[in-house]
Structure 1
Amino acid sequence: MRHISSSLSTRFSMFVLVSLSAGAVAMGCVAAPTDSHDEPRGSTDSALTEGQCEYFEVNGKVQICHATGSANHPYTVLRLSEQACIDGHDGHPGDYVTSTDPSSPLYDPTCQGQGCLPKNAPCGPMVPCCDGLTCREGTCQVDLCTGVVCAPLDACHTAGTCDPSTGLCSNPVAPDGTACDDSDACTQPDTCQGGVCTGTPAADTTSNMAHRWTFDEAGGSTALDSAGTSNGTLGSSTSRTVSFDGSGAITLTPTQQCDLNAHVDFGLAPGQFGTNAFTVSYWLKTTFNAPGSGDLIGNRVEGSAGNFLSARLNGGTSVASLEMYENAAGTNGAGVNVSPSPLNDGSWHHVAYTRSGTSLKVYIDGVLVGSATSAAPTNLTGANSFRIGRRLPTCLSTFSSIPASFDDVRTYSRELSACDVAAMTTP
């Protein structure tokens, strides 16, 4: 057995004392600078997780950037075991995984906050997921929002955000009152309400109404004029029936091809339009299959031209026609033929005629279906009574009385706009 000399023993003892003294200093016998590890583990600044320690272990080792707390050397690269990573650095503020391998996405040899986490790696706040990946459900996964631009769905929605798990954009609703356009010229102004562009109807179906006959009387042969003073008189081949909305209507039921009593006569006043603007509006239902024509509404008493407004329907061709003339010579005449028209299909239809200046227009079910222009405004003096149904005083061989139902006959002393007419097609 070898013995240690006294002088050697003395030197060894001094070495031990010095070593112990150095260890005491390292263990805190002297004040140490404050570093990030003075914060509790698991603080909000924590970066490295147990999952990352396990995921990035290679041959039993994990390489990390360790926060030193030193201003001069804030980080140092450590290569340690997986368990040491978990036990000593999991949850410590500032520590994060790194690599000194240039081919690794985590390459950050001098701990400058470079590198990125690859696909399926556990996410962490210190190192971002690589391009095209996003932190989802704790790991870096493919970001389906890459290249997706979330644009507003329409004027009543704002630009949303993309969900990286689906690649779909949200569509937040724009504030109520946001200006928009519902593509309907008949609704103004248009604003967003609950994500839907909603307009306020701009139609006017009441002003300048001159006459209106609704045929809602309980009985009798008189049709009251609720807007004017021209009550109508029902011919003997006319009866009261039910309209499309459950209200009253009248039905013309000719007893032969030409029945001079199949009409409602409103007198002279409603047809005295002069050269002013006007509108004639009514609802019609008929199945008229006779080969000739018959009167729908107007004050025509001539087979050819004269001073009148005349609307007719041909049962054989389904042509609906509208004519107006100033005199027998056809002065300032204008005519519109709608071919074919839907008027004789047995369903209720709304019909309107408007005149302003030299322009004559025909609407069916709220849609402009024809127009014509006269040389000058036609002067309609109303020399003959205005009627629905039969108006000619004689029976021409090619002329028939139309079996038809009428409701809500109106005249206006102005040209209704297309929006006004369209509004009347909703019962």
Structure 2
Amino acid sequence: MIFEYSQKTLDLMQRLNAFMDAHIYPNERRFFEEVAAGDRWQPTRLIEELKDKARAAGLWNLFLPDSEYGAGLTNLEYAPLCEIMGRVIWAPEVFNCSAPDTGNMEVLVRYGTPEQKERWLKPLLEGRIRSAFAMTEPDVASSDATNIACSIRREGDEYVINGRKWWISGANDPRCQLFIVMGKTDPNHPDRHKQQSMILVPRDTPGVNILRHLPVFGYDDAPHGHAEIVFDHVRVPASNILLGEGRGFEIAQGRLGPGRIHHCMRLIGLAERTLEKMCKRALARVAFGKPVAAQTVTLERIAESRILIDSARLLTLKAAHMMDTVGNKAAAKEIAMIKVAAPNMACQVIDWAIQAHGGGGVTDDFGLAYAYAQARTLRLADGPDEVHRNAIGKLELARYVSKEAVQAYLSGSRGTRT
């Protein structure tokens, strides 16, 4: 594998870096000032202004691989661009490349009907509306998605939805007009992975009740936010079902693979920016008669940070390459590996940077505390570390025995082993 960026990617990287220098970095403070100045849940003028500039610069919808709707970049070509955007937490929205909209747009591209694409995909691609993905539930261990209890029941030409969801990112934003909801259409199906379905629910449907926003380590992430929602006898047309009943897990796997790798790409950019801050701070401060950068422990942390970041980047590029060449399913182990490696790497690098900044590191002055909150959350989002590690371990064991033998062994039935 040769991770040599195409000329198309190199050109886009140059243009994207120039845009970040001209419009994103100089406005970091303005973004948070706008959020704090009024109704925190209203879109900022800054983001809307910069969206127009990004469109005009041809830096729009870069995330969709092999699609008539996006820039046509492969996952490998998109990786360094996503990393650059990830250097500033709010920047991806400027380019219409932010979660959860990217994953939802991919769902609609892959599985949506022409009518669903016209109603929902088109305005999402144009950045006129936003969306949310409602999967996690507070009353069950959602790390095992077969536990999901939200009911999606067919009644004539409609489905009736009842359930409670939380950590629904983006639901507080008034631009959020669509929920993709995962629930059970057939709770008695003998195959637990065919009990679930996904359905499109317009935000303004009667019975959709947003209870509260959920802060992360005290940050409300306004105007994006994360919500707890009750679906109380919500009725939508039967045509809103995605792909058909019992296809929820199939859709989830198609959605979460790209979503997971995008999170990792962005985290690498965030960690890279954090290392820059750590180095500059360590060079500028003096303690015990010499620069902090000259202290051996600081040098070791800087070196380890570089090793960790570059290792995570290479693993991410390998996963992207496999997704492009053999498909998401065949790349499942590599996707799981980066989903563990990248958030843990970012948490460690940010923690060391906080330490190098002293008391300033835990304030909002340097953006490190907020960065840590984001990175730590991603050890849970899109599947916790433990689930991914289990999957990696099983896939590794399956190199030596069949998958069925691995499952039997781990469930307590020893069976025949080789």
Is the TM-score greater than 0.5?
no
- TM-score for both structures, normalised by structure 2: 0.19
Return the TM-score normalized by structure 1: 0.19
Greater Cα radius of gyration, structure 1 or 2: 1
- Determine which structure has the larger helix proportion and give its number: 2
